[in-house]
Every structure is written in C-alpha cells, then in structure tokens.
C-alpha cells in the first residue's frame, strides 16, 4: 500500500512539466537597464529585451525574447532578419491597434508603435525554476494628450517562467495579459486572408524542418492550417545532423482555443492565430490573457509524448 507521503510525491511529480537533474547548475537571473537574462550556471537560456532596440533607427521594438537557446547552446531565435526585419525573436503583436476608429500605428511592423517596458520584477527564484514579470505600456505617437505626450493604449503584464533542464527537454512558460487603457480599444491580425497575429516565435528554419500537430504532419500553406492545441517543429539546429525540436503548447484558457496555425517553412515565423482579420474589443476591466508553453527538446518527440505534455500544461 502506498503511503500518504508517496502519494503526495507522485502528485507533485505529475504536476511538474519536467524534473530537472540535480547535478545541473542552478538557474539564475541577471538584470541590467537594457536586458533580463536567464542562465543555468554560466550558460544563457534566454534574454528579454526591456530597452528599445532598432536597426539603424528603424523597426524600433522592445518587450520580447531574443536570443533563445536550445539545450546544446544553439541560438534558436532570430532578430532583425533580412527577410522580415520587423520580426523579433519570441514576440506577440498584431497589425491592428485601434481606439474607436482611430488606427494607432502598426505593432506588427513596428510602425508608429512602441512597447515601453515600465518595470521588471523577479517573482520566483529557485535553483530549478525562475520567473520574472514585466509591466509595459503600448504607445504610439498617433495617440497623445493635449501636450503631445504619448498616452498608454494597452497595459501589458507578461510573466516568463523558465524551468530547469532535464537531460532531454526544458519548459518555458509565457503568460501575456492585455488590458485596454482607453475605452473602445480593439486588436486584430492582418486584414488579408491570412489573418496572422498574436504569439509569434521567429525560430531559425533549417533545411529538413518538419511540423507535427495533434492531427498529424502539417504542411505550410498560404492560409492557416487546421486548429491544434500544440505544434512541434523539429530540425537540425546545430552544426551536425542531430535533430531537436521546439514544441509550442496552448493552454485551454487561450481565446479561440484550439487556435489555427500560420506555418512557414522558410524566412518567417510560426503563429497560433488570434483573433484573425476581424479586430476584437479589448476590455478595460478584465485582461485578455494568453498562455503558452515552449518545450525545447532533444531528438524527435512523438505525438503521444507531446499529448502528455499538453495534458500536464492544461491541468495547471
């Protein structure tokens, strides 16, 4: 008969996204006015860009993750890529940002828009799990007060939680909460048939990249593919032929769950679409919250294994 202590331990293990190996170095956070970096020992895991970055003064952006590294130290994310210089690591953005009928810039292409990070707080710091919370305002020179000062349009509160690596995987959680700072604010994706917008990892796309969803192998197309609670991308991201992957899990609380996916084989990002081409209202009193978990894994990940990861995330 299992003891009460054994049962409690089993429950705790089941709730954890993964169990880190005790011999691995502890996670830690380093901060500067420009960046927040998570490291495991001396090895960087990811960096959050809190200060504005630009390319020769163009495509100014802040409040996103880059670089992101896999378990073997390979850089996975891209920033200012030549094909889409407005893409930026792991980011979340929409083409449409409206106050009433007024268009207040284009956050997706970094035009007349900036996420201004007001502060970053470390909210958890354990050897095998750390988390920080960033508060930010979405601003535009097209939305100002009588003195010409930019007024907040949307208030963003983003929590990023990094779990210690096991031998074959690491989990990173994103929780992005958006609240309108003005009445009648709406956000929406591209206004063409693609409708892309929302959480958008810009990951390097080597030759031989494959996509796996809950309903099977997915092939990128111009428009979004069928809904799936998760997406896996597997390729050789290092200097040899060793394959590894990035799995994106969507929490059932995400608006529109399960979402359709925009997939791209080359020179672009991947995106669980919300809300599409029709803009939706952003409330002033209750945040619209998006929760995703990225799992960086060595080797191939089977659909059955990813479904277990998805079930664990969905229960939290």
Note the pLDDT tens digit of each residue in 72-116.
999 999 999 999 999 999 999 999 999 999 999 999 999 999 999
d(CA 312, CA 301): 16
Q: Rounded to 5 degrees, what are φ and ψ at 182?
A: -130, 160
- What mean pLDDT value characterizes the chain? 94
- Cα dist from 67 to 38, 46, 76, 99, whole Å: 11, 6, 7, 33
Q: Is the pLDDT of residue 167 over 90?
A: no
Task: Work out the angle at residue 183's Cα, subtended by the Cα atoms of residues 285 and 151, and round it to the nearest 5 degrees.
Answer: 100
Per residue in 108-159, pLDDT (tens digit) is 999 999 999 999 999 999 999 999 999 999 999 999 999 999 999 999 999 9
Q: Is 253 helix (H, G, I), strand (E, B) or coil?
A: coil
Tokens of residue 177, six digits: 């909460």
Average pLDDT, integer, range 261-288: 98
The pLDDT assigned to 23 comes to: 75
Task: Work out the angle at residue 249's Cα, subtended by the Cα atoms of residues 245 and 252, and round it to the nearest 5 degrees.
Answer: 170
Residue linked to tokens 């207040």: 104
CB atoms within 10 A of CB 23: 5
Task: Return the DSSP state at 313.
Answer: H
d(CA 47, CA 140): 25
The pLDDT assigned to 21 comes to: 52
Rounded percentage of the chain residues whose pLDDT exceeds 70: 93
């Amino acid at each position: 008969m299992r003891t009460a202590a054994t049962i409690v331990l089993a429950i705790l293990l089941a709730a954890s996204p993964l169990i880190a190996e005790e011999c691995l170095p502890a996670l830690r956070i380093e901060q500067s006015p420009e960046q927040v970096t998570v490291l495991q020992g001396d090895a960087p895991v990811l960096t959050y860009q809190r200060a504005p970055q630009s390319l020769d003064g163009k495509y100014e952006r802040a409040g996103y993750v880059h670089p992101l590294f896999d378990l073997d130290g390979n850089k996975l994310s891209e920033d200012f890529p030549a094909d889409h210089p407005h893409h930026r690591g792991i980011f979340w953005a929409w083409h449409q940002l409206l106050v009433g009928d007024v268009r207040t810039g284009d956050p997706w292409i970094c035009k007349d828009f900036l996420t201004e990070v007001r502060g970053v707080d470390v909210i958890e710091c354990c050897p095998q799990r750390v988390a920080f919370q960033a508060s930010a305002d979405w601003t535009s020179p097209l939305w100002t007060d009588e003195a010409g000062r930019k007024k907040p349009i949307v208030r963003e509160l983003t929590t990023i939680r990094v779990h210690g690596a096991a031998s074959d995987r690491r989990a990173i959680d994103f929780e992005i909460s958006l609240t309108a700072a003005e009445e009648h604010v709406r956000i929406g994706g591209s206004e063409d048939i693609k409708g892309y917008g929302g959480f958008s990892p810009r990951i390097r796309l080597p030759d031989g990249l494959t996509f796996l969803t809950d309903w099977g192998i997915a092939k990128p197309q111009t428009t979004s593919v069928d809904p799936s609670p998760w997406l896996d991308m597997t390729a050789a991201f290092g200097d040899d032929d060793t394959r590894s992957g990035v799995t994106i899990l969507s929490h059932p609380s995400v608006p529109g769950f399960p979402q359709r996916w925009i997939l791209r084989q080359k020179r672009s990002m991947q995106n669980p679409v919300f809300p599409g081409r029709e803009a939706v209202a952003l409330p002033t009193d209750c945040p619209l919250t998006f929760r995703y978990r990225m799992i960086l894994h060595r080797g191939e990940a089977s659909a059955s294994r990813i479904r277990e990861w998805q079930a664990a995330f969905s229960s939290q």
